[in-house]
Amino acid sequence: MPDEIKTLSSQLAQDPDSLVFLRLGELLRHKGQLDTAHRVALTGLERHPHLPDAHDLYARILADKHDYERAFDEWDMALRIAPDHVGALKGLAFLYFKIGDVQQAAAHLEAAQRVAPDDPGVAQALAMARGGEGGPADAEAVAGGGATEALTAPEPIAPAAQPLEEARVFAGLEGAQEGLLLLDASGRVLGGALKDSGGRDVTDAVAAYLAGVSQEAARTVKLLGLGKWTGLAAEGHHGHVHLAAPTSDALLLVVRDRAVPMGRLAVIAQRAALAARRWLEAHA
């Protein structure tokens, strides 16, 4: 194994964009070199932020370091990018067992089994969760152990959701194909598109990161007794963004450079939200 680590490290040094970091991170994790594994996974994730296997690897390292909250986020992110990712489903099942939510754990294992019916680890954990031999603690061990197998048999990356009739959602609105994005609650792109300053399409990446924002915003303002959330405006180093909820199940993102004042951005967002609401109602 040390030789393999050396070889993989050398390969990664020669080609930092290589996916070899997945195997290297996993080997280091198995060896208990968690800090090194953490660095390798994080560097890989920075280069491949849309790769579910990278989030899965990072989550397993975090779980080994008992950082369960961030591990949850990473597996959650992997699932948002690839909803059928078996490693992430098993990882989340493991975390649900950890907190004693056997029902949720079983639901995730069932989802994993639908994708990988021949995975013995999933079947065993599921049997235990359903009250077979062993108990939740054993099932937790199986689910957690099972999660480590994801990289030896990597799951294919799910194809990105295709925008639906994107041109029609924001027809006639400024920046419809580069600075407006409409998502559903799970982060699926319903319309619009985003490009970064280099002209690269970043639609799916941004959509994946924004999945769940609407629900979190709603929970936050509810907790504070502030009524419904109406928008989220943010200033960045190179641009401004505005988020709005045209309906309770949808999220609208408007991105503009810093030359556009926040007030103007809010007006653009308001118009786009109106167009999106009409479009969503028409397609309901």
Residues that bind other proteins (CB under 8 A): 49, 69-70, 73, 194, 196-198, 200, 202, 205-206, 209-210, 212-213, 216-217, 219-221, 223-241, 253, 255, 257
Tell me the sheet residues that pair with 15: none
Which one, 126 or 265, has the nearer CB to other proteins?
Answer: 265
Q: Which of 278, 231, 221, 277 is nearest to 253 (CA)?
A: 231
Q: Which helix (H) or strand (E) holds 20?
A: helix 20-30
148-170 as b/e, with b when 16 or more CB fall inside 10 Å? Answer: bbbbeebbeeeebbebeebeebb
Which one, 32 or 199, has the nearer CB to other proteins?
Answer: 199
Which one, 10 or 230, has the nearer CB to other proteins?
Answer: 230
Least Å distance between CB 192 and other proteins? 12
Contacts with 182 (C-beta within 8 Å, 6 or more apart), sequence order = 169, 170, 189, 190, 191, 192, 246, 250, 251, 252, 253, 276, 279
Please provide residue 255's backbone torsions phi and psi, each rounded to the nearest 5 degrees.
-125, 130
Which one, 129 or 244, has the nearer CB to other proteins?
Answer: 244
Q: Which helix (H) or strand (E) holds 254?
A: strand 250-257
Least Å distance between CB 35 and other proteins? 16
Least Å distance between CB 89 and other proteins? 21
Could you tell me if 88 and 55 are in contact, meaning their C-beta atoms sit under 8 angstroms apart?
yes
Least Å distance between CB 99 and other proteins? 15
Q: Which of 36, 78, 82 is nearest to 61 (CA)?
A: 36
Which one, 70 or 123, has the nearer CB to other proteins?
Answer: 70
Least Å distance between CB 150 and other proteins? 22
Tell me the sheet residues that pair with 243: 232, 253
Least Å distance between CB 218 and other proteins? 9
Which one, 28 or 217, has the nearer CB to other proteins?
Answer: 217
